[in-house]
Amino acid sequence: MRDVFVIGAGMTKFGELWEKSIKDIFVEAGLKAIEDAGVGYIDSLYVGAMSSGLFVGQEHLGAVMADYLGVNPVPATRVESACASGGVSFRQAYLEVASGASDIVLAGGVEKMTDGADVTDALATAADQEYEVYHGVTFPGLYAMIAKAHMHQYGTTRQQLAAVAVKNHRNGAKNPNAQFRFEVTLEQVLNSTRVADPLGLLDCSPVSDGGAAVILVSAEVARNLKKPLIRVIASSQASDTIALHSRPSFTTIGSVVKAAEKAYKMAGIKPTDVNLCEVHDCFTIAEIVVSEDLGFFEKGKGGEAVEKGLTALEGGKMPINTSGGLKSKGHPVGATGIAQIIEVYEQLSGKAGARQVKNARIGMAQNMGGSGASCVIHILEVK
């Protein structure tokens, strides 16, 4: 396999983008990425999208986006893995360049969720229809069950869950592309409208529109363009049961554990070598569980870690979700995995502005679908 480098990135602001269609959103992100990379053409294109058919009635997104991006006749493929669609889009592009099949590939992701579809129902198609959704379970409900189990098993507190939202809003307030650029207090999170006990409105990622794209290239292209060498040192993916009830434990996500194990092995590093990580905080409890499953903290200690500031941008030994995470930056599901890569890329290029982690050399992005039935992890390193 060949070395693969990320040389350009572009994204739209995340939020309620009423004035833009799904095509406008993807094209804006794609053109920004192509311009940032300084490439004159691309060999192929991937589009991560969870459910454009249900959200806006448009399928066949690979062809749609190639057409409107003006890159016909290059191959264009839509990738779907629920909320991990963006991360899997990146992985497909990575594999295409690594295999030698292409030299310059655009990996993108997009979702337009605010156009009037029943978002909760559309999102729930990523859970087990027969054994979960039929019985009325939604994603806030599934993660609430994970939270209850974690609280019961490890003594995680409501305050610790809320501390994740406080931290991520603090980071998101510094991100010009974030949906919610405001800070929240612990009291506001604790008193926010209950969505699924114990999770309140401010424990949830929002419903969002947005697009994101990056350009992946071979070493030869990166060197010819004289780009900083930001290499993908690991790409891994794993699966777990689709339904929560089939798992031996609600408090560990098997796909995250397995994908992390593979990623560390491929990169030849340990969790302590990672300087920052974007994790899939679709709900506050998800960040806590995942930060443990990635090996940053002992099992059961993720809540304590966030409360003690260990995951903070300022002074934390393991800064998590410097972008604001899904909680504050927003969660247009198909775009999320690519936006995570963009944060890592910007941090490693020293372009993260007020969110910059000093001396960041190795960054990780963890993206998952549903309640963790799919997980994809990438690790990038600046040479």
Q: Residue numbers of the site for ligand COA (CB under 6 A)?
A: 83, 120, 123, 139-140, 180, 195, 201-202, 204-207, 282, 331
Among 150, 280, 331, 378, which one carries the catalytic annotation?
331
CB atoms within 10 A of CB 3: 16
Q: How far is the CB of 29 from ligand COA (least distance, A)?
A: 20
Q: Are 8 and 33 spatial neighbours (Cβ–Cβ below 8 Å)?
A: yes
Residue whose CB is less far from ligand COA, 83 or 110: 83
Q: How far is the CB of 144 from ligand COA (least distance, A)?
A: 11
Q: Look-up: residue for tokens 């060197």?
A: 223
Residue whose CB is less far from ligand COA, 64 or 279: 279
User: Does 83 qualify as catalytic in the annotation?
Assistant: yes
Q: How far is the CB of 205 from ligand COA (least distance, A)?
A: 5
Q: Look-up: residue for tokens 């090996």?
A: 295
Taking Cα atoms as reference points, which of 115, 108, 87 lies closest to residue 21? 115
Specify the amino acid at residue 34: I
Taking Cα atoms as reference points, which of 28, 7, 2, 1 lies closest to residue 227? 7
303 by Cβ neighbours in 10 Å (0-12 / 13-18 / 19+) ranks as: buried
Residue whose CB is less far from ligand COA, 289 or 380: 289
Q: How far is the CB of 267 from ligand COA (least distance, A)?
A: 27
Indicate the SS3 state at residue 161: helix
Query: CA torsion angle for 370, 334, 120, 244 (degrees, to 10)?
Result: 0
Residue whose CB is less far from ligand COA, 105 or 127: 127
Taking Cα atoms as reference points, which of 77, 94, 86 lies closest to residue 263? 94
Show the CA angle centred on residue 357, arms to residues 354 and 358, nearest 5°. Answer: 110
User: Does 378 qualify as catalytic in the annotation?
Assistant: no
Residue whose CB is less far from ligand COA, 205 or 323: 205
Residues with a catalytic annotation lie at 83, 331
